[in-house]
Amino acid sequence: MGSYTELLKTSGVARIIAAQLTARFPSGMLSLAFLLHVEQQTGSYGAAGLVLAATSIGQAIAGPLTSRLMGRLGMRPVLTATLVVCASSVIAIGVLPLTVPLYMAVGLLCGLATPPVQPAVRTIYPKMVNSRQLTPLFSLDASAQEIIWVVGPVVTTFVSTQIGTVWGILLAAVMMIGGTTWFIASPELGRVRIPRSKRRFGTVLARPAVLLATVVGFLLIGACAAVEAGVVAAFGHDGAEAGIVLAIFSIGSLAGGLTLGHVPISPWSTARRMLIVFVGVSLAAFAMEFWWLAVTLFIAGIGIAPALAVLFSIVSVSVKFSDTAEAYGWVGTGQLIGAALGSAAAGFLIDGYEAVGAFWAASVLAFLGVVVPALARRWHPDLRGRDASPIPDTEPVPVTPS
């Protein structure tokens, strides 16, 4: 834990982590808030699902596009413009009496304008700490983001059911505005400028490590989404069991990230950490009982944040600084598509085989998440004793006082 204490004492690190977590907190709120609100307004979960799908499609498209724009226009202008559009769209869904097609259109706009906070902060990190601290910082960040997925749904459910669905959406909008404004105002954004990339859009995917991180992220988050659907199907919406089990799943990830974050990254690291996830979700499929799922999913969770930390690190070390934001945008898009397809596959299997079907889907995705990096280990960077910072651009990167 000493390495994390040292990190948090580094100038600006604690502030930027807190700001970006607050800005991204609505990610753990909006899907559930939209689901509850649109279902209440239309009387159809199917309609609510269409709105969520439109929002996810917008986010998947926007990820690499808005991230690349930060190199052309600057981080603060892009973050500010997307914040205005996205927050306005969120508020519109909450307060306007819309038809389902209009809900979908506004949801798509909301997704397209999602502020690219995650690519921005991943780009800033290498300029804030030395190379020795970078991998632990990625691990700390991946662990801390579990707070979003533990607390966000709980807060949304409480506000939406006890006060009203409109207020659940408006609370998410307030968090988005406040957190993103705090992040935009952070001095670190003024000290670092992303150089304009000289390569064509999408070329960064030709980097084997970026493609590997995108594919493994797709499989990992797809498995997690299937697990979430399976847990809800096993316990239903009425009791507290589903929320408690999913919280334990996230706590396992938090514990794993803090415990394994300092372990050096080798070509086998991604496969080994994904193996932990596979073992946990595979064992979970044997019994849909509360304590069994709590224990097995805690085990599975131990591999999640460490695996994400490895993916962030191998992307960082494999691309030029001017391409880092776009690269992380592609990785985020892979994860979003994984979440959508993982949920869809789980839904079909739940209909046919009840809750256990979702865990079958999660097990297959997690198994592929072991196989892919194992087969691709020759393209997996070996960071043992190596600087994890991005490849420098040929021209100097301006660093100006805030």
Task: Verify that 1 and 105 share a domain, yes or no.
Answer: yes
Q: Tell me how many domains the chain contains.
A: 2
- The 10s digit of each residue's pLDDT in 164-216 is 889 989 999 999 999 999 999 888 777 767 666 666 776 777 888 889 999 99
pTM above 0.85, yes or no: no
Task: Verify that 111 and 126 share a domain, yes or no.
Answer: yes
Cα dihedral angle (329, 334, 335, 337), rounded to 10 degrees? 120
- The residue type found at 369 is G
Task: Verify that 95 and 64 share a domain, yes or no.
Answer: yes
- The 10s digit of each residue's pLDDT in 38-48 is 878 887 767 77
Per-residue pLDDT, 85? 94
Question: Which positions of the chain have pLDDT values less than 70?
Answer: 1-4, 45, 131, 146, 149-150, 192, 194-199, 202, 236-239, 261, 321-322, 385-402
Residue 174 to residue 307: CA distance in whole angstroms: 31
- The 10s digit of each residue's pLDDT in 2-20 is 566 777 777 778 888 888 8
Per-residue pLDDT, 254? 81
Per-residue pLDDT, 272? 93
- Pick left, alpha or beta for residue 400 (phi over 0 → left; psi -120 to 50 → alpha; otherwise beta): beta
Residue 398 in any domain: the answer is no
Task: Verify that 82 and 222 share a domain, yes or no.
Answer: no
Per-residue pLDDT, 137? 78
The helix/strand/coil state of 391 is strand
Per-residue pLDDT, 2? 57
Domain boundary among 196, 220, 245: 196
Task: Verify that 221 and 159 share a domain, yes or no.
Answer: no
Task: Verify that 357 and 335 share a domain, yes or no.
Answer: yes
Q: Which residues of 98-116 are buried (b: 16+ CB within 10 A; e: fewer)?
A: bebeebbebbbbbbbbbbb
Task: Verify that 182 and 203 share a domain, yes or no.
Answer: no
Task: Verify that 176 and 271 share a domain, yes or no.
Answer: no
Q: How far is CA 244 from CA 1, 164, 240, 250, in A?
A: 26, 23, 6, 10
Task: Verify that 101 and 18 share a domain, yes or no.
Answer: yes
For 155, the domain range is 1-196
Mean pLDDT of the chain: 82
Q: CB of 335 within 8 A of CB of 213?
A: no
Residue 342 in any domain: the answer is yes
